Structure 1
Amino acid sequence: MAKFGETLVSDYLSQLGLKPIKINEGDEQTPDFEVNNMNDELFFFVEEKTIDSDTFLDDVEPGIIIDGNDPSENALETKFRKAVKQFKSVNPDHSKPNVLAFVNLNDMVNINDLFISLTGKGITEDGKVIPLRRVGRVKNDIEHVDLCLWFEKEGLRDLLWVSGNEEHTKLLKNVFRL
């Protein structure tokens, strides 16, 4: 399904007038794309992570209470940390923005799970931010990702600003017309 995700992300970027160029992986893990403008200037890097249908509840009998560790949040944190390693391989000084695109094919996961994974906090219906879980090693990686795009099967659904790099944020807001 990763091919589906890469195609979805690449098509979206192309529709914005950008040129996503697939990075050939060698011995070292790299992001999926470098993204150029129409003048072939490098704008930013993109790593796509597909969230496949998950079966973690398939074997749980109705009425059984599972523990408080949400497997989806742990999986998202793992994907995030792996993407940071890939970004560091081509952009070690973070001189260009890094964009992490999640393509969600799992009905039990949404961008709120990503927010919880990265911050340990949840947002209530009335907008209050409350602590939910301890954040692991991902807190040391957040500064290496500028923006997370959240795709569903139909296309871009949401986004989450991650790093506080104002220069990268300004560029990405302009590129994504935000």
Structure 2
Amino acid sequence: MTENEMKVIKTVAEIGVIGANQLTRIFFRGNKKKTRKMIQKGFLIQHTLEQGTKSIPFFTLSSVLNKQFEGVQLEYLTVKAILRRMLFFQLYGRLIEQFPFTVERSEVEPFVGVLKRNGLVFHVGVVRGDIEKWETFFKWHYDNERIILVTEKLTFLTPIQPYIKDKLIRVTTDENLKTAPTDDLFYEWDGTRWIKEER
């Protein structure tokens, strides 16, 4: 097992699922042969998610490795949960263009995972039709954690706006993850509108 393969295994164990393109781009610089080698070695299992006319390939660890590295219990993951995890890795892939981060699982609902850098902890959530959960969290459970949210559209976050002014919360969108420069990924809520994060 190579050092990079071990990094893949430990990282995927924390979140449970990674998209095929994300795996190849983030860990193997686009070299699909290295991904295929991990499949051949029995480290990764490939799956396909059918979304309308689209087929989305993704990977999980083999059951043996998932058990060995105390990975996420995959049998409980819904389609939405799988997609959230893939968006987590899309964010991770963009952030490591600038800085190294480590990945950990989140013990706090409704977050997908945690990113750590230089002692800073960022709780990452993906908002997808579950805004009530987030409203409850910010109203009753938020304790000044650093949070990054990924949402399809900023307008979907209207219910949580009363709770997040002057908080350590940054937001990005699906579109920003695809097209925005890394320095221009995030928004913050100033009390009346979403503004680009000042750096």
Which of the five TM-score ranges fits, normalised by the shorter chain?
0.3 to 0.5
Give the alignment's TM-score, normalised by structure 2: 0.40
Which structure has the highest helix share of the two?
2
Give the alignment's TM-score, normalised by structure 1: 0.44
